[in-house]
A and B are shown apart, each in its own frame.
Chain A
């Protein structure tokens, strides 16, 4: 176990980077995904079209391709960002498409009667969405969104491929020195599992707390 103790500092800092990327990209993906869903179910055809294309694009292009594209294409477009923020932005944009799909499945659980009642009371479309549809849809979407967050956390490992020093990248570095791949990557895998477990349990707790009393 000495090999981990000797590199504890860099490893912990790399784990911090992984968690930071997951948290920032996760929050951004939930916000953006909610907006995309709102556009997707709006009565304005242009918005619906844009949201549909957005989801289809990000669901049908591999994340690694997007990351590499962003690293090389964005500087060409005059946008020079450090690698970690670039990875976070790409992760957020990518996972927002999956969040949008999760929330849309939640929206489908909200009956049309709820929407008719809102309209009959004089709510505008935005009020209907904000006060009635989204709160109920999010409740139904807590577990699916939790699964997207777990996938997002696992996907942060791909940022290693574009040079972000996060957990997988640091584990790889350590392996180059120590040549103990099975041990090192097993431990890295266990850490990812622990993160996934925390997210999954949190989602379960949130779901219980916001559950609609029946």
Chain B
């Protein structure tokens, strides 16, 4: 277990009365969510429940219909430079890695620190190599994304996000596109990140990770947060029938 969230600290992520529509489809319904600094929140739920959308709203990759979202006390700006600045403080890891295909792994990690933060190239490269070392792929720094396995690419993507020294990290199904044997190498990196006190929002189907690393599990269904609890209480004593039905389908019997 990572860090018990302290109730006195100001929220790192605050979502208030958030509604989101895709056309006629009501994807997020009345979402109220407060995430404390250093808290690790794992979002689970059946596909189509809105959990990925919730994650993508936090850095405004998806716009919301109404309600408000703030990160570290700052309301999400609408567009332009202010939004870019805020996004620079929020790391994101995608299901499909999305490494820049035309750049080497090290370039992928250093590009944003150099171009967005104005960090000197030498310094960015030294820190980038340290990060690649930390996720265990320093030897791949000169290679291109397509030359790496999926697990290695996803670890590079985590290093790329960490290079911006983000206040919070968003993981949108980071292991769903991976071959089974590569899932654990990515989850190991995420677990160590959680234990170091990174604020994390993780959308995943990996219940083992949720048990091991989460401070809080959020269960979503049909666009609503149906239930939230500590992992132990959620997995062993889910109170809502929908969460019980979901768990009975995914947990090994």
**A residues bordering B, Cβ < 8 Å?**
111, 113-114, 116-124, 127, 131-132, 135-136, 139, 212-214
CB distance from A44 to the nearest CB of B (A): 11
A116 contact set on B, CB distance < 8 A: 61, 94, 98
A135 contact set on B, CB distance < 8 A: 102
CB distance from A162 to the nearest CB of B (A): 42
- Is A124 a contact of B81 with CB atoms below 8 Å? yes
A114 contact set on B, CB distance < 8 A: 98, 100-101
Q: A212-B144, A212-B146 are in contact. Are A119 and B100 (CB under 8 A)?
A: no
Question: Which B residues between 145 and 173 are near A, CB-CB below 8 angstroms?
Answer: 146-147, 157, 160-161, 164
CB distance from B116 to the nearest CB of A (A): 4
B21 contact set on A, CB distance < 8 A: none
Which of A119, A136, A139, A212 meets B87, CB within 8 Å? Answer: A119
CB distance from A41 to the nearest CB of B (A): 16
> A121-B164, A123-B116 known; 15 other A-B pairs, CB under 8 Å?
A114-B101, A117-B94, A117-B98, A118-B100, A120-B91, A120-B92, A121-B112, A121-B161, A122-B86, A123-B84, A124-B84, A127-B116, A131-B100, A212-B102, A213-B147
Question: Which B residues between 106 and 134 are near A, CB-CB below 8 angstroms?
Answer: 111-112, 115-116
CB distance from B64 to the nearest CB of A (A): 16
- Is A214 a contact of B146 with CB atoms below 8 Å? yes
Q: Is B202 an interface residue (CB 8 A)?
A: no
Q: How far is the CA of A113 from the CA of B157 in the complex (A)?
A: 12
Query: From B170, which residue of chain A is reached at the shortest CB distance?
Result: A120
Enumerate 8 A-B pairs (CB-CB under 8 Å) in ascending A order.
Answer: A111-B98, A120-B59, A122-B112, A123-B84, A123-B115, A136-B102, A212-B102, A213-B144
Query: From A113, which residue of chain B is reached at the shortest CB distance?
Result: B98
A117 contact set on B, CB distance < 8 A: 92, 94, 98-100, 157
Interface residues on B, range: 20 to 34
Q: Is B88 an interface residue (CB 8 A)?
A: yes
- Is B98 a contact of A119 with CB atoms below 8 Å? no
Interface centre among B99, B100, B160, B161 (most CB of A within 10 A): B100
CB distance from A34 to the nearest CB of B (A): 16
Q: Is B69 an interface residue (CB 8 A)?
A: no
- Is A131 a contact of B111 with CB atoms below 8 Å? yes
Which of B90, B96, B160, B164 meets A113, CB within 8 Å? Answer: B96
Q: Is B85 an interface residue (CB 8 A)?
A: yes
- Is B146 a contact of A213 with CB atoms below 8 Å? yes
**B residues bordering A, Cβ < 8 Å?**
59, 61, 80-81, 84-92, 94, 96-102, 111-112, 115-116, 143-144, 146-147, 157, 160-161, 164
B98 contact set on A, CB distance < 8 A: 111, 113-114, 116-117
CB distance from B80 to the nearest CB of A (A): 8
Query: From A112, which residue of chain B is reached at the shortest CB distance?
Result: B98
CB distance from B59 to the nearest CB of A (A): 6
Q: A116-B98, A212-B146 are in contact. Are A122 and B92 (CB under 8 A)?
A: no
CB distance from B155 to the nearest CB of A (A): 15
- Is A121 a contact of B146 with CB atoms below 8 Å? no
Query: From B99, which residue of chain A is reached at the shortest CB distance?
Result: A117
- Is B88 a contact of A119 with CB atoms below 8 Å? no
CB distance from B40 to the nearest CB of A (A): 19
Q: How far is the CA of A139 from the CA of B102 in the complex (A)?
A: 9
Query: From A124, which residue of chain B is reached at the shortest CB distance?
Result: B84
Q: How far is the CA of A142 from the CA of B88 in the complex (A)?
A: 33
A132 contact set on B, CB distance < 8 A: 100
- Is A121 a contact of B101 with CB atoms below 8 Å? no
Query: From B59, which residue of chain A is reached at the shortest CB distance?
Result: A120
Query: From B86, which residue of chain A is reached at the shortest CB distance?
Result: A122
CB distance from B113 to the nearest CB of A (A): 9
Q: How far is the CA of A111 from the CA of B98 in the complex (A)?
A: 9
Q: How far is the CA of A76 from the CA of B100 in the complex (A)?
A: 51
A121 contact set on B, CB distance < 8 A: 87-88, 111-112, 116, 160-161, 164
A139 contact set on B, CB distance < 8 A: 102
Q: How far is the CA of A117 from the CA of B97 in the complex (A)?
A: 9
Q: How far is the CA of A139 from the CA of B103 in the complex (A)?
A: 13
- Is A120 a contact of B146 with CB atoms below 8 Å? no
Q: How far is the CA of A122 from the CA of B85 in the complex (A)?
A: 6
